[in-house]
Amino acid sequence: MMKVEIWSDIMCPFCYIGKRRFEAGLEQFAHKDEVEVIFRSFQLDPNASKDPDHDVYGLVAKKYGVSREQSIQMHAGLVQQAAALGLEYNFDHAVPANSFDAHRLIHFGAAHGKRTEVAELLFKAYFTDSKHIAKLETLKGIAAEAGLDPEALEAALNSDAYKQEVLAECAEANQLGANGVPFFVINRKYAVSGAQQSDVFLDVLNKSWEEEKPLIILDPSSSGKDGQVCTDDACGIGENE
């Protein structure tokens, strides 16, 4: 199995776009059924509040030193990019809250074989449905939608469960050289930074597959011809000369 690890943050607009572009590239990959995709945790702003007092437009305007009007225009461009991939972004009502517990939910989902499903539902909850992903009831609802036990999730979030796993993956991203997200790592050999086009992902998947594919042994005996080979049991020296 090839392993593709994707570091992302739930509130990163390019992460959802990158997810779709990667999926489009993977769909064209001849060995797609032999690829394991793992979503890893990353926080763009670990200090973000669970109850923000600003909207997305105000947050970006302050962060990048632009006007609110410029921020709205920047987000309009993202809406168009997302729409081209079949995604609906609703920034007018998005709640840019701390994503730490949302990442803990992804790990809770992983423990029950639902990592990818939970990640997709969280992206949709934030970008399309404008849900508050730092609120317990929101996360419980997403857990239920994924077929997980919401009460078990609540118990986990009320404990220290999955905190170290999230922190460890955030730290690992930095160790691997991730300056931002999305950050795709293929077989721990190739890395792709950013929401690249689908053909970029397809190219790196093909390259990695060619380099990692198992050795093909050609056995002449299978074609009716005797091979000359030494084994632990015998060595056919002088035979078939």
Whether 73 maps to a domain, the answer reads no
Express each pLDDT in 54-93 by its tens digit. Answer: 999 999 999 999 999 999 999 999 999 999 999 999 999 9
Q: Which residues contact 108 (CB under 8 A, 6 or more apart)?
A: 118, 143, 148, 152, 153, 156, 161, 162
- Average pLDDT value for the chain: 91
Angle formed by the axes of helices 136-145 and 100-111, nearest 10°: 30
Ramachandran region, residue 179 (left: φ > 0; alpha: ψ -120 to 50; beta: rest): alpha
Whether 171 maps to a domain, the answer reads yes
Sign of the Cα torsion 218, 222, 225, 227 reads positive
Whether 117 maps to a domain, the answer reads yes
CA 132/CA 95 separation, integer angstroms: 6
CB atoms within 10 A of CB 226: 10
User: What are the two backbone dihedrals, phi and then psi, of residue 174, each rounded to the nearest 5 degrees?
Assistant: -65, -40
Count of domains forming the chain: 1
Whether 106 maps to a domain, the answer reads yes
- If you average pLDDT over residues 129-136, what whole number do you get? 98
CATH number of the domain encompassing residue 40: 3.40.30.10
Range of the domain at 121: 2-52+95-212
Provide DSSP, 72-116. HHHHHHHHHHHHTTT----GGG------HHHHHHHHHHHHTT-HH
Percent of the chain scoring above 70 in pLDDT: 88
Express each pLDDT in 83-111 by its tens digit. Answer: 999 999 999 999 999 999 999 999 999 99
Choice between 238 and 116, residue whose per-residue pLDDT is larger: 116
pTM of the complete model = 0.88
Whether 104 maps to a domain, the answer reads yes
The confidence score (pLDDT) of residue 221 equals 52
The confidence score (pLDDT) of residue 188 equals 93
Whether 162 maps to a domain, the answer reads yes
Q: Which residues contact 139 (CB under 8 A, 6 or more apart)?
A: 101, 102, 105, 133, 153, 157
Examine residue 214 and say whether the peptide bond preceding it is cis (omega within 30 degrees of 0): no
Whether 177 maps to a domain, the answer reads yes
User: What are the two backbone dihedrals, phi and then psi, of residue 3, each rounded to the nearest 5 degrees?
Assistant: -120, 125
pLDDT for residue 197 is more than 80: yes
Express each pLDDT in 148-190 by its tens digit. Answer: 999 999 999 999 999 999 999 999 999 999 989 999 999 999 9
Whether 241 maps to a domain, the answer reads no
Which alpha helices (DSSP H) does the chain contain, by range? 13-27, 56-64, 68-83, 100-111, 115-127, 136-145, 150-157, 163-175, 198-212
